[in-house]
Structure 1
């Protein structure tokens, strides 16, 4: 069995402000760095063989924190464009509240340049297949983005959709055996500081 753990990056200021964030290379904020450390401490309780990351810095910096805790060389982190965030086209930089439904509707007329859900699922699934084919039997962390994780989950199991909640720095487990992917756990984040959950 090959095991994948898809980890969302820590918080950025655009996440905090609820602004649509796609390919912009926004860094982790102070809370995001803390979340990355919390994710790293949680994942270090298990043994991992490889870390793969989206090339965007918010993912790379989260991956580096995890690598340090898991005693994996930073130089060994593999960057893979297939796990980059969704191209939101004209929606990028706009408040989530005003355009969320159009994004969820895959509305390319209202949002020119929007990468479709099917396009996302195809590229993320291609990346996952490549990993399980190249590293059979290994345990692999993939640090990426909210919509990349939703694409992975919905590509594997159509009971999941792009409306699935996905907290910053959460972990999502997908196993691969006998030629099939299977979702084992999603949005694992009880160990992550989340201001929306605090009284």
Structure 2
């Protein structure tokens, strides 16, 4: 069994400006840095065997701000959704009445990547306590894969928010996806 602490990065300038960051690096605000320092203090008494982190700069900076004296291991598996041609656009400019173009990572692709991440954990970190710094929407997909619930039933992760999961095995039944990709443009 793996004890997994899923953390969302701190507030970014782009969050404040309602920009779809996707694979952009992102820039933590002073408030975002402080959020992560406070979370680090809150989690300081917990033993973590490893700290895994998205390879996007806003997540790396967030992990460093937590100051937990753990080496940060990055992986592209933990990246936020690739918003394709919408990357860098204001959320308000995205038409929600049309399907996303192929350049946008689909919900199916997100489920697959989240499943790959859980398989990676089970293969390499069984019996460990893992701190994982990632992104709001992608954390919901990880939680979905572990719980067997559809991602849209998983509560949103606020900046510096976290959730604790017990990972024993992949569920036999994969979560279904009945909402469209376009509904998630506001979840950046």
> TM-score category by the smaller chain?
0.7 to 0.9
Structure 2: unaligned runs, 5 residues or longer: 172-188
Indicate how the Cα distance of structure 1 residues 114 and 8 shifts in structure 2: closer, same or farther if over 3 A, else same: same
- Deviation (angstroms), 1:159: 4.2
Is the Cα contact below 8 Å between 1:150 and 1:160 reproduced in 2? Answer: yes
1:158 Cα deviation from its structure 2 partner = 2.0
- Does the 8 A contact of 1:151 with 1:162 survive in 2? no
Provide the rounded CA distance (Å) in 1 between the counterparts of 2:153 and 2:106.
11
Number of corresponding residues: 170
Out of 125, 142, 146, the residue aligned to residue 152 of structure 1 is 142
Cα distance, 1:154 vs structure 2: 2.2
TM-score by length of 2: 0.82
Deviations along 1:156-196, whole A, 9 cap, x unmatched?
3224318842200111211122x346xxxxxxxxxxxxxxx
Aligned to 1:62: 62
Provide the C-alpha distance between the structure 1 equivalents of 2:9 and 2:78, rounded to a whole number of angstroms: 12
Contact 1:147 1:162 in 2 (8 A): no
Residue aligning to 1:21: 21
1:112 is displaced (CA, Å) by 4.3
1:104-135 deviation line (CA, Å, top 9, x unaligned): x8x23xx3410001101111221122112211
Which of the residues 62, 80, 83 maps onto 2:78?
83
